[in-house]
Amino acid sequence: MPRNAADYHGDNGLLYCGKCQTPKEAFFPKGLVLMGKNKHPVECACHKAERERQEATVKEQKHLDLVRRLKAEGFSDSAMLNWTFENDNGRSPQMHHAHRYVEQWQTMRTENIGLLLWGGVGTGKSFLAGCIANALMEQEVPVCMTNFARILNDSFSGRNEVVDRLCRYSLLIIDDFGMERGTEYALEQIYNIVDSRYRSRKPLIVTTNLTLDEIQHPQDTAHARIYDRLLEMCVPISCIGVSLRRETAQEKLERLKALIG
């Protein structure tokens, strides 16, 4: 340890820090003497505190950098960055499911348990899923939140690469599921992605405007095998009720009337 002008030797012969009055030296145990010395340097309390503070600062910065990178890579839309528990307005009765999922993430991950958030347009399904994504990324969990339109667009340049990339994430969230009522190619791609998550035992969260009855009773075999996989992997959560988007629009209208009335 470096010696400062204010440092001093105690009655026991050890060097003490002039700032915190704790030892900067310690005796070797059992009277041991090495190379003619019976004591060795140690950290005083203030030096240890400063070192730990600097280490904590570096650790926190590394954490922030990692979270920033995870969110940059994991979100297909920058608006999703604001879908957090802190920004919840308390109107979604299903939000406790999102909190619970994050709290029990290790179990969800181990047992490959996902969520199927179904209900009408504007009922907060995407926001709820985004809250889960942001909270887990804050815990340094790799999450991807995207939609099938983007997935299908990417798959034209490399079908297997897209499936492999999406399978690397600890959690995959597919927003606005239901546009798969399309071509044979699209249905095949969707099944490949859902099935790859199933086989790799990695959870999947899906939001959809489809009703649970539509998912449980598909009209053809192509959709049936996709929906069967989803129901096997995901716990259905009903997100029905008043459209939060409609409520927000009405509030803005009332606010505008108050301002110009």
What is the per-residue DSSP string for 73-111? Answer: HHBSSGGGGG-SGGG--S--TTHHHHHHHHHTHHHHHHT
Report how far residue 43's alpha carbon sits from residue 74's, in angstroms, rounded to the nearest whole number: 43
As a whole number, mean pLDDT of residues 70-77 equals: 94
Q: Which range has the worst mean pLDDT, 3-12, 46-55, 61-70, 161-170?
A: 3-12
To the question of pTM greater than 0.85 for the whole model, the response is no
The mean predicted confidence, pLDDT, of the chain is 87
Highest-scoring range by mean pLDDT, 90-94, 188-192, 197-201? 197-201
Q: Which range has the worst mean pLDDT, 50-59, 97-106, 177-186, 219-228?
A: 177-186
pLDDT at residue 250 greater than cutoff 70: no
Highest-scoring range by mean pLDDT, 36-45, 150-159, 218-227? 36-45
Residue 179 vs residues 95, 116, 227: alpha-carbon distances, Å: 25, 15, 13
Yes or no: say if 166 and 193 are a contact pair by the CB < 8 Å rule: yes
pLDDT at residue 252 greater than cutoff 50: no
